[in-house]
Chain A
Amino acid sequence: MKIYFELNGVPQYPEVEPGESLLQLLRRLGMKSVKEGCGTGDCGACTVLVDGRAVRSCIAFAARAQGKRIITLEGLGTVNDPHPLQEAFLDAGAVQCGFCTPGMILVAYELLSRHPDPTPEEVRTAIVGNLCRCTGYRKIVDAVMLAAEWKREGRWR
């Protein structure tokens, strides 16, 4: 069946299978930042934003994208023009293998779009469901706090 949605600002009209996951659809469309970790909603590696809300794409149905605005990490920034959140993750040393990073950044993006001035505790609560097996969480929290500071200083686009 054919659906319509907006992916990182670009209209899409893909054919989807009724039992296909949003993760499968997005990777099929070239969004390789969307990672499959567990495939059961537990790890957060597959997180994307649907109408501004972080969701787990591995357990979301592709058909549900119909009429939605979806943002993956590719929609935030590029290697040559990174988003301040991506820069903050690099500055704070919050990336090792990088598998968890897209999900972490998108969850942080949702948090900061609603609460631009979170406490470290609020950041920890927001990322509680996103697992990182390399870095540990302290530097990730530091990165989000740094990005929040930059946002309040008007350095976000």
Chain B
Amino acid sequence: MRLTGVRRFHWARDVEEALSLLDAYHGRGALLAGGVDLGRSARTDLEGLIDIMGIGLSYVREEDGRLRIGTTTTLTEILEHPAARRYLHGALVEVLCRVAVPPLRNMATLGGAVVSAHPWADIPTALVALGAEARWEGEREEHALVEELYRQPFRAVFRRAVLTEIALPPWNGAFAFEKLSRSAGDIALLNAACGVGIQDGKIAWARVAVGATPARAERLTWLEEALQGEAPSDTLWRQVQEEVERRAKVGDDRRASAAWRRSVAGVVVRRAVARAAERAAR
């Protein structure tokens, strides 16, 4: 453990208690969910850890086609939950079983993944594409699309608030997820989540998010608009690949070069869109 300076460990019993403890530490306390990130952290500024695994936020519920997931639910618990498995014919399962490795999925929570929001992470990409909504409690209860949350200084928000729920809306269509990594359990060099709805043989709507570019996921709204009204075909998928390769915003980091990312971005998005369309047409 590389965290130094921690002097107190608290087991919060509810959201209110977690918030008042957080408040009492004036920025020197942190909420502890799965601990996968905090357990690796070398922060020296933390004095108190506030365990939130017992505050009643471990649940998966299906409501009017929406899937509501409490933020302390572990990735394994989600993967094993029948409602989560059913959601969009397994779209969520397809993503989560590519996230990290089983013993880490036993620890990591959905809330921790949303708040840590590593730019290379897969969960933010999927949640942005799916139009997921986040709910949190700080001074008051608030909610926003995960995509909008990421446009705000969200890390500052969650120094004084508890993210309580992620809700996934129903979609009349299908999604597919693609991830390129060096090995099966490794983090993404590029990832994409795409959704497509088909009506009368034409694409009625499309959602495309690309992440690990190496920046955090962003939607390709120009592509979503261009796809509307088109009939799925190999020619269309070839065009998607070429256009994404041309227009993708990619960069260098220590894992991959911008040139390499550009050369694969088109393929990754093409595969995800084509697979989503094929599923939607079934």
A107 to B76, CA, bound (A): 14
With a cutoff of 8 Å between Cβ atoms, the chain B residues found around residue A23 in the complex are 1
Q: Does B254 contact A (CB under 8 A)?
A: no
Point out the residue from B1, B100, B101 that lies within 8 Å of A58, measured CB to CB: B1
- Please indicate which of the listed interface residues A24, A44, A63 has the most CB atoms of chain B within 10 Å of its own CB: A63
A20 to B32, CA, bound (A): 14
Shortest C-beta distance, B137 to chain A (Å), equals: 23
A77 to B11, CA, bound (A): 34
Q: Are B184 and A56 in contact (CB under 8 A)?
A: no
Point out the residue from B8, B39, B76 that lies within 8 Å of A59, measured CB to CB: B39
Point out the residue from A53, A54, A59, A125 that lies within 8 Å of B36, measured CB to CB: A59
Q: Does A105 contact B (CB under 8 A)?
A: no
Point out the residue from B6, B7, B39 that lies within 8 Å of A41, measured CB to CB: B39
Q: Are A107 and B35 in contact (CB under 8 A)?
A: no
Q: Does A9 contact B (CB under 8 A)?
A: no
Q: Are B9 and A1 in contact (CB under 8 A)?
A: yes
State how many residues of chain B have any CB contact under 8 Å with chain A. 29
Q: Does B55 contact A (CB under 8 A)?
A: no
Q: Which residue of B lies closest to A114 (CB)?
A: B80
Shortest C-beta distance, A71 to chain B (Å), equals: 13
Which residues of A from 56 to 71 have beta carbons under 8 Å from B? 56, 58-61, 63-64, 66
Shortest C-beta distance, A17 to chain B (Å), equals: 8
Point out the residue from B7, B40, B103 that lies within 8 Å of A18, measured CB to CB: B7
Q: Are B102 and A126 in contact (CB under 8 A)?
A: yes
Q: Does B62 contact A (CB under 8 A)?
A: no
Which residues of B from 35 to 53 have beta carbons under 8 Å from A? 35-36, 39-40, 48-49, 51, 53
Q: Which residue of A lies closest to B76 (CB)?
A: A53
Q: What are 16 of the A-B contact pairs (CB < 8 Å)?
A: A18-B8, A18-B48, A18-B49, A19-B1, A21-B39, A41-B39, A54-B102, A56-B104, A59-B1, A59-B35, A59-B36, A60-B107, A110-B102, A125-B184, A126-B102, A128-B184
Q: Which 5 A-B pairs have the closest CB atoms?
A: A129-B101, A59-B39, A19-B6, A18-B9, A21-B1
